[in-house]
Chain A
Amino acid sequence: MAQKTVAGVNLEVTDDGYLVDPSQWTEKIAKEIAKEENIELNDKHFEVIKFIRENADSGLTIRKVGKSGIVDIKGFYDLFPGGPLKMSTKIAGIPKPTSCV
């Protein structure tokens, strides 16, 4: 566990940078974390992030996001290059998913 100040808010984060308390999340924080991952968030990103936050407790998988009707899997990879599920969940302020698919 570590402390980190993002967008002027003091946050508790895990060693790999995931928010410990998802309720602290704001869009501003998302933008800051995304910047660290070299992603400039647009409306499509936020649509996906919204879906991810709403389904945080249901065992998220890439497949589920691909069936969300928001993006297909290819689109998901394009939005969050180099690890869509781990990156999008970090930006969405929810725990790192434990899924292998």
Chain B
Amino acid sequence: MAEKKDTQVKKVAMICAKGTIEDVYATLVMANGAVMEGMEAKVFFTFFGLDAITKKYMNKLHTGTVGNPAMRMPGGLPFPTILGAIPGVEAGVSVMMRSQMEKLDIPPVDEFLDMITAGGGEIYACKLAVDMFKLKKEDLSDHVIDIITIGDFYAMAGGEGSQVIFT
């Protein structure tokens, strides 16, 4: 019988390209989980994912209430897309979601970045997207190490037991 041999994951390079609560938190939870397990974690924020590291928006992320079939009312009834289109509904739902997370001790985005970087995780912003959205280094969280190209990011993503994860 062939012996099963697993190579341990030692390093994750993550790319976050979307700016909804669920996309950003998926990235943050996985990055923080990696450093908590003693792994190396590097995160590259691009396109709308940049909201997660933009000072002005990072703690005000929304979840989409339109065209989201998994969206439900409290109690489990389906959430009609037409309701989600009413002004203020998306903001209200997003506030609710953030407060639910706080109850589980999941921190706001800025504090989450504090935690990840305290554990040695590294945060990068995509140069192309930063240029596109006309952002400057000072618009971004102080935890952003640098604004780099995807090529630069790949260059630091290698090594034995390393994985690239796109969220």
Q: Which residues of A contact B (CB under 8 A)?
A: 59, 61-64, 66, 72-74, 76-77, 81-86, 99-101
Q: Do B118 and A72 touch across chains, with their CB atoms under 8 A apart?
A: yes
Residues of B close to A63: CB separation below 8 A: 105, 107, 111, 115
- CB closest residue in chain B, given A72: B118
- A contact face: mostly helix, strand, loop, or mixed: helix
The 4 A-B residue pairs with the shortest CB-CB distance in the complex, in nearest-first order: A82-B38, A73-B118, A74-B118, A83-B38
Q: Do A101 and B105 touch across chains, with their CB atoms under 8 A apart?
A: yes
Q: Do A62 and B36 touch across chains, with their CB atoms under 8 A apart?
A: yes
In the bound complex, how far is the Cα of B106 from the Cα of A31, in angstroms?
Answer: 32
Q: Do A73 and B119 touch across chains, with their CB atoms under 8 A apart?
A: yes
State how many angstroms separate the Cβ of A101 from the closest Cβ of chain B.
6
B33 within 8 A of A: yes
For window 95-150 of B, CB contacts with A under 8 Å fall at 104-107, 111, 114-115, 118-120
For window 36-68 of B, CB contacts with A under 8 Å fall at 36-38
B85 within 8 A of A: no
Residues of B close to A77: CB separation below 8 A: 35, 118-120
Partner of B36, one of A59, A72, A84: A84
Residues of A close to B89: CB separation below 8 A: none
Q: Do A59 and B37 touch across chains, with their CB atoms under 8 A apart?
A: no
- CB closest residue in chain B, given A60: B105
Residues of A close to B119: CB separation below 8 A: 62, 73, 77, 84
- CB closest residue in chain B, given A77: B119
In the bound complex, how far is the Cα of B115 from the Cα of A99, in angstroms?
Answer: 15
- CB closest residue in chain B, given A82: B38
In the bound complex, how far is the Cα of B115 from the Cα of A81, in angstroms?
Answer: 14
In the bound complex, how far is the Cα of B106 from the Cα of A72, in angstroms?
Answer: 16
B94 within 8 A of A: no
A62-B36, A63-B107, A85-B36 are contacts. A101–B29 as well, Cβ < 8 Å?
yes
Q: A73-B118, A74-B118 are in contact. List 20 more A-B contacts (CB 8 A).
A: A59-B105, A61-B105, A62-B119, A63-B105, A63-B111, A63-B115, A64-B105, A66-B115, A72-B118, A73-B115, A73-B119, A76-B118, A77-B35, A77-B118, A77-B120, A83-B36, A83-B37, A85-B36, A99-B105, A100-B33
